[in-house]
Amino acid sequence: MSQNEIPYLKFEYSVKTWMIILGVLVFSSASYFFAHLAINNDRGLLINGIIHLNSIGASVLYASVGAISALYVPLGILSAYRLIYNKKPKLSLYENHIFIPPIGLTPERTIPYHSILAFFETRMYGHRILEIQVNEGKVARISGTHLSKSEDFDRIVRELRLKTDSVEVGA
């Protein structure tokens, strides 16, 4: 695969900005809420009638959940920064491979068509996800929510069917 190769199809592929902002707000609110509970806790905690925590144990649990929530806030801010100040990433189809740009913590993937064993579409709560199984045993995912138009998802599936005609495709 040469670096000078030009893609024959490009699709804008990124997380929506409003989703990042909503995530930062939710995790910062959760962090504040659980930190407040940890500081002002004077009672224990009973979880499902099975786990009994005294006030110190409950405070430790609240502080831990608050700290974990707080760890997601800088990650969301970094994602928003990358999305706003960098070019929007493009999912690109080349003659011999597909390029999936990095989203969040997932790394970028370059997948040669000959290494694809199977791919299938999953629908979950109105979202469409294309799962591509590669011969190294790994799975790459293309989420329809990261594409700017729903028709782009159908186009990617059609192109993969054309490029990998020997692959068993499930829906």
Show the low-confidence residues of the chain (pLDDT under 70). 1-4, 86-87, 165-171
Contacts of 42 by beta carbon, 8 Å cutoff, 6+ apart: 55
CA separation for the pair 79, 14 (Å, rounded): 10
Q: Hey, how many other C-beta atoms are within 10 angstroms of the C-beta on 87?
A: 8
Q: List, for residues 88-113, the tens digit of each pLDDT value.
A: 778 888 888 899 888 777 788 888 88
User: What residue ranges define each of the domains in the chain, with the CATH number in brackets?
Assistant: 9-14+89-170 (2.30.29.30), 17-85 (no CATH)
Residues 6+ apart with CB under 8 A from 139: 131, 132, 133
**8 A C-beta contact, residue 47 and residue 53:** yes
Q: What is the pLDDT of residue 32?
A: 96
For position 170, what pLDDT does the model report?
57
Q: Hey, which residues does 93 pair with through a beta bridge?
A: 9, 98
The predicted pLDDT at position 71 comes to 94
For the entire predicted model, the pTM comes to: 0.68
**Structure tokens of 95?**
């003659």
pLDDT (0 to 100) of residue 164: 79
Spell out the residues 6+ positions from residue 39 whose beta carbon is closer than 8 angstroms to its own.
59
Q: What are phi and psi of 164, to 5 degrees?
A: -125, 60
Sign, CA dihedral 74-79-84-87, equals positive
- Decide the pairing of beta strands 97-100 and 90-93: antiparallel
